[in-house]
Amino acid sequence: MLEYVAIFVMMCLAGIIATVIIGFSHVLGHRTKSKAKLAPYECGMTTIGPTRRIMTIRYYIVAMLFLVFDIEIIFLYPWAVISRKLGLFGFIEMIIFVFILFIGYIYIWKKGALEWE
């Protein structure tokens, strides 16, 4: 249990430092409120219609799926760099990894998660 004391002290110290920095920025920061700063900003253009809209769950599902399949690339790049060192074992592992991702892709496709209605 004594080994965890250093981790606890470091976590407490990090929390104190973060609180102090945010507190100083709040106290010492310069705030000006103007009509231009309080206006909603969207691509530099004046908005048309209400600026607050309810987004459908499909938007978030597609965003999550994009992240999942984008993270796949993060695993493929290092594998591609050292694929010769890994040999046949590394190749088979990567084929299994890609196959599992492909099964997941087929699953979400069949469920209709990629369809915009």
Q: Can you give the pLDDT at residue 47?
A: 66
Domains of the chain by residue range:
54-117
Q: Tell me the two tokens of residue 104.
A: 């997941």
Quickly tell me which residue has 């104190």 as its tokens.
16
Confirm if 40 and 47 have CB atoms less than 8 A apart. yes
Torsion of CA 49, 52, 53, 58, to 10 degrees: 140
80-108 confidence digits (pLDDT tens): 888 889 889 989 998 998 899 899 889 98
Residues in the chain, total:
117
pLDDT of residue 43: 67
Distance CA 103, CA 113 (A): 14
Pick the CATH number of 54-117 from 3.90.1330.10, 1.20.58.1610, 1.10.3130.10, 1.10.3720.10: 1.20.58.1610
Better-scored residue on pLDDT, 55 or 24? 24
* Helices 57-81, 83-111: crossing angle, 10 deg rounding: 160
| Nearest one of 47, 65, 49 to 57, comparing CA atoms | 65
- Return the number of other C-beta atoms located less than 10 Å from residue 114's C-beta: 13
31 pLDDT band, cuts 50/70/90, is confident
Contact 22, 74 (CB under 8 A): no
